[in-house]
């Protein structure tokens, strides 16, 4: 009987920590003032695949990141920015060194987390990361986290 209650307690604890609604990540939206210039950065520099907006409405550019995950750029006349690197889109790759070589060949600056230009941060969990800015100052983290 004691083993039954122990097993029951473990199952209840597991269920309490599991995700109830089976969420998956769909998209990240970013408000920009110049959707063409900023969209070109995501298409040309990050080489994300551009996908059509379902309504083909002006002022939007959508990109596929991986699978069904997307980035949506939305053009507005006024954008309030924090400038904080803590607010960022993060993309992971196992080809960080190749990506850094690519950035350097195009004279695209990148920084480590503390803010030193041209440096890579090594997190305590072994993940390497860099940060770059799109043309409007939005931060993008590129790291080596395995998924």
Query: Based on the domain organization, do 147 and 86 belong to the same domain?
Result: yes
Q: Examine the pLDDT at 56 and tell me if it is beyond 90.
A: no
List the strands of the sheet with 121-122, edge to edge: 88-92, 139-143, 128-133, 121-122
Rounded CA separation 34/39 (Å): 8
Q: Which residues form the domain of 42?
A: 24-80
Q: Quick check: is 17 in a domain?
A: no
Contact (Cβ atoms closer than 8 angstroms) between residue 109 and residue 132? yes
Site of tokens 């440096």: 119
Query: Based on the domain organization, do 62 and 121 belong to the same domain?
Result: no
For the chain, the residue count is 147
Query: Based on the domain organization, do 112 and 51 belong to the same domain?
Result: no
Query: Based on the domain organization, do 60 and 117 belong to the same domain?
Result: no
Query: Based on the domain organization, do 63 and 99 belong to the same domain?
Result: no
Query: Based on the domain organization, do 76 and 99 belong to the same domain?
Result: no
Rounded CA separation 92/113 (Å): 15
Query: Based on the domain organization, do 37 and 63 belong to the same domain?
Result: yes
Query: Based on the domain organization, do 56 and 115 belong to the same domain?
Result: no
Beta bridge partners, 142, equal 91, 130
Q: Distance between terminal CA atoms of the chain?
A: 40
Q: Quick check: is 111 in a domain?
A: yes
Q: What is the CATH number of the domain that holds 95?
A: 3.10.180.10
Question: Could you report the per-residue pLDDT of 77-88, keeping only the tens digit for each?
Answer: 988 888 889 999
**Mean pLDDT, residues 25-49:** 96
Q: What is the CATH number of the domain that holds 75?
A: 3.30.720.120
Share of the chain above pLDDT 70, in %: 88
Contact (Cβ atoms closer than 8 angstroms) between residue 27 and residue 53? no
Contact (Cβ atoms closer than 8 angstroms) between residue 129 and residue 141? yes
Question: Could you report the per-residue pLDDT of 98-147, keeping only the tens digit for each?
Answer: 999 999 999 999 999 999 999 999 999 999 999 999 999 999 999 999 97
Q: How many domains does the chain have?
A: 2
Q: What average pLDDT does the chain have?
A: 89
User: Domain end: 38, 53, 80, which one?
Assistant: 80
Contact (Cβ atoms closer than 8 angstroms) between residue 39 and residue 30? no
């Amino acid at each position: 009987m004691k083993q039954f209650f122990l097993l029951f307690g473990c199952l209840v604890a597991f269920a309490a920590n599991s995700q109830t609604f089976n969420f998956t990540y769909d998209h990240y939206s970013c408000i920009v003032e110049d959707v063409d210039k900023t969209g070109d950065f995501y298409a040309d520099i990050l080489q994300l695949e551009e996908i059509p907006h379902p309504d083909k409405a002006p002022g939007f550019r959508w990109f596929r990141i991986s699978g069904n995950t997307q980035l949506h750029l939305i053009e507005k006349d006024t954008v309030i920015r924090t400038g904080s690197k803590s607010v960022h889109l993060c993309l992971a790759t196992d080809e960080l060194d190749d990506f850094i070589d690519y950035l350097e060949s195009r004279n695209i600056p990148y920084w480590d987390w503390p803010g030193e230009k041209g440096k890579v941060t090594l997190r305590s969990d072994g993940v390497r990361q860099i940060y770059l800015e799109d043309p409007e100052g939005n931060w993008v983290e590129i790291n080596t986290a395995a998924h």
